[in-house]
Structures are given as structure tokens and as C-alpha cells.
Structure 1
Amino acid sequence: MSEPVKPRPYRSPRRARQAADTRRAVLAAARSLLAERGWAATTVAEIARRAGVSVDTVYASVGRKPAVLRELVETALSGTDEPVPGAQRDYVRRTLAAPRAADKLRLYAEGLAALQQRLAPIFLALRDAAATDPDCAALWREIAERRRANMLRFAADLRGTGELRADLTDAHVADVVWSMNAAEYWVLLVHERGWSPQSFADYVTDSWTRYLLA
């Protein structure tokens, strides 16, 4: 006797598009509010009001405020509406494909300048949120570990060109790049001192090239 055929659930493309549009609106509202007011002064009610939806819709489409912040961090890192693993991001692939260490450093710096324009305000909001919210503190630690691991891989990739200084360990190289790719460093020079993103990219490229390469 054959098994009864279970009907497949109906999926409406129009409803899926509406849900995606709502999610984008919620994230855009949260992004602008966090950049303007910071973590503590941004409420879910304010996010809902700016997005033109109800509070329940914010919870249903993205989640609680820590979940909203996680989505903002991940989408800022990827530059798309969805999280993308680090190795699959365009600027990372271009950096890894470059044969010379100087080119890798330049491509990474240019990618970093583009990234920080959307990430820095969100990352600083996450830093502040981590001081009081356990979920955000866990995300802060997770992102910090990911950054550290990515920098060690980058250092190893640079080492593979044979052009790094022999007296620097991969851990030291990773720490130098890690410290200068931080959102705080970007904010000091671009937001507070008025540097252009290109000036920032040129500066870190020159600094890394002079210090790290033989």
C-alpha cells in the first residue's frame, strides 16, 4: 500500500517579497537610529515607528533588539541583505587572488575603507551594547574571535608571498592589521579628523607596506 502524498506547503512569491521588504525597512530604520542615537537611546518602538510597521512586526521579521543588531553587523560585513562568509566577500577574494604582498595590502585597505563606511557606526553601537546586554556581549566576543582568526589567515597568506619581514611572526602581523582595521581607528581619522575614505585607505596601505614588508 502506497504512502499518502503529503501536500507541499504553498509559498507565495508576493508574500515572500513583502516579508523581505519589511525586513529591509526594519533594518534600515534600526541602522539610521543606532548611528544617530546609539544603543541605549534606540528602542524597538522607535525602530517600528521609523520603519512604518508595528512593534510586533519588528519582532516577527527580525527579532528582539540584540537580534536586530546582529543582523545589522552581519549585513554590514557582507554588504548585502544577507550574511556572507568572510572568504566569499568580493574584496577578500580579490585580496587572496593577488600574487604580491603589496597588492594584497592595497586591496585589503580599499575593501576596508568601503566596509567601514557602513560598519563603523553599527560596530560602535555593538561595543556599547555589549557592556549591558549579555546577548550583545556574546556577539562582541564572537566577532572579535572571527576578526582575530581572519587576521591570522591573512598574515599566513601574506607570508606565502615570501615578502614579509622575517623577524615578524604571523601573530604580530595579525595584531598590527587587526588594530588598524578596527572601527575605532576609522572613526578617529575619518569621523573626527575629517579624512576621506580614500585618504584612510592610502594611509593604512602605506603604513602596512612600510612596516610589514621586507
Structure 2
Amino acid sequence: MTGQMRRERRPYDSTGRQAQASLSRARVLEAARRLFIEQGYARTPVSQIAREAGVSVPTVFARFQSKVNLLKLAVDTAIVGDEQEEPLAARPVMRRVREAATFAEVVERLADAFVEVAQRAAPIAAVAYAAADADPEIARLVDTLDAQRLTGASRLAEIVADRLGVTDPAAIRHLRDTIWTLNSFTHWDLLVRQRGWGAAEYRRWMVVALTALCTDAVR
């Protein structure tokens, strides 16, 4: 042993590398979402996404496997608002709906939730729906999105039915289908993007539509 003191090995700390990987992943998703919205899915090559995000093409494929999966994650993260694995149903905006004491409160809070999610997710969801006809994988993605919305609408219908004192299964199914239709991003695209409505105007329309149609669904 020499005169120098032997240095003790410190345990490897991967925190910095993980943080860097998370940052680059977020940059890729942000670039993909923006470019898909601006240019469309088919006209946006992975190479351009990689360049905009400051990473290599192999890095994009290593982290996202495919361009379709990149679109899926761009939609999923827009719906929930971040990359955390917590589903939308467990987020504060939906907890507020479950905690509403009356039907009127449920409707108001549902309208808030629809607006919050649509502002983030409607533009990128529109990309997926537009590309579905030309790509079977994206068509399956769209089917999955619609199925997830139906599952969410089923839970919301149960809340609405409870506040209205409704127990008839047929009426609850009608409520589910009504909510599933109203919370489609298509309505946001038609009224906000195409007709130029503001978010507040859209929210008022949603409150009126939910109140009228949910009430009618249980008559």
C-alpha cells in the first residue's frame, strides 16, 4: 500500500442521469405534440421531432418504440396533464366532480373538467382521429381512446344518477351515452377551433347541454 490513502468508493448515484432522461423524454413529447398539431401526423418525420428535441433518432425509438406510440403518449399526457402514471379519474379535477353534493354542482364541475382537459388534449386528439383512416394502428389507438372515454362516462353516469336519485339501469346507460357524446373532443373542435368560441362560452354551453340532456335521459 502506498502512502496515499485509499479512497473509498462512493455508491453510484443515477439520479442525475434519470433526470436528464426524463427531461429529454419530455422534450421529445413536447416537440412531437407541437409538430403533429402544426403539420399533421403523416407529414411529421421522426427525424424532425428528434432534431427539434435535441436528441438522436435512435434515442427517440429507444424511448418510444414507434411513431404511433409517440402519438399515443402525446395524446395520453395531454389528457392527464403530465407524464405521471396517475389516471385522470384520480386527478383533483375529477375528485371535485365525485365530491359534488348536488346534480347542479356535478354539472358545473363536469363542465370545468371537460374544458380543462379539452384545452390541453383536443388539438392532439384531432390529429389521431384525422390519421386513423390511413393507419390501422392509429385506428386502434382511436378505438382505445373512445373506449376509455366510455369507461369514464360510465363512472360519471353513476355519480349523476346518484345525485338525481335514479336507479333504473336503462336510464343510467342513457346517462352514460349522453355524457360520452358530450365529452367528445369533436365538440370542442367544432365550437372553439372552427367557430371561434372562447373557453368560457364553451363551458356555459356544456352546462346547459349537460343539464338538459341528463335530465331528459332519466325521464
Number of equivalenced pairs: 206
What stretches of structure 2 of length at least 5 have no aligned partner? 1-10
What corresponds to 1:112 in structure 2? Answer: 114
Structure 2 match to 1:17 = 19
Using structure 2 for the length normalisation, give the TM-score.
0.86
Amino acid paired to 1:24: A
- Equivalent position of 1:29 in the other structure: 31
Answer yes or no: is the 8 Å Cα contact 1:127–1:140 preserved in 2: yes
Give the Å deviation of 1:86: 2.9
Shift of 1:120: 0.7
Q: Which residue of 2 aligns with 1:207?
A: 209
CA contact (8 A) 1:130 1:136 kept: yes
- Which residues of 2 match residues 65-76 of structure 1 at below 5 A? 65-76=67-78
Residues 70-128 of structure 1 deviation map (CA, whole Å, 9 limit, x = unaligned):
11111111111234223212111110111111111111111111111110111111112
Q: Deviations over 1:31-60 (max 9, x none)?
A: 100110111111101111111221111112
Structure 1 equivalent of residue 66 of structure 2: 64
The code of the aligned residue for 2:156 comes to: F
Query: Does the CA contact (< 8 Å) of 1:77 and 1:115 recur in 2?
Result: yes
Question: Which letter does structure 1 place at the counterpart of 2:53?
Answer: A
Matches of 1:190 and 1:23 in 2, distance apart?
30
Provide the alpha-carbon RMSD of the alignment. Answer: 2.1
Deviation at 1:10, TM superposition (A): 4.5
TM-score under structure 1 length normalisation: 0.88
- Structure number with greater Rg is 2
What one-letter code is carried by the residue in structure 1 that aligns with 2:112?
E
For residue 139 of structure 1, report the CA deviation from its aligned partner: 1.8
Alignment check: 8 A CA contact 2:28 2:50 kept: yes
CA contact (8 A) 2:166 2:172 kept: no
Quote the offset at 1:167 in angstroms: 11
Counterpart of 1:84 in structure 2 is: 86
Structure 1 residue 138 displacement after superposition? 2.0
Q: CA deviation at 1:136?
A: 2.0
> Hey, what does 1:145 align to over in structure 2?
147
Counterpart CA distance in 2 for 1:118 and 1:100 is 28
d(CA) in 2 for partners of 1:125 and 1:83?
A: 23
- The unaligned stretches of length 5 or more in structure 1 are 1-8
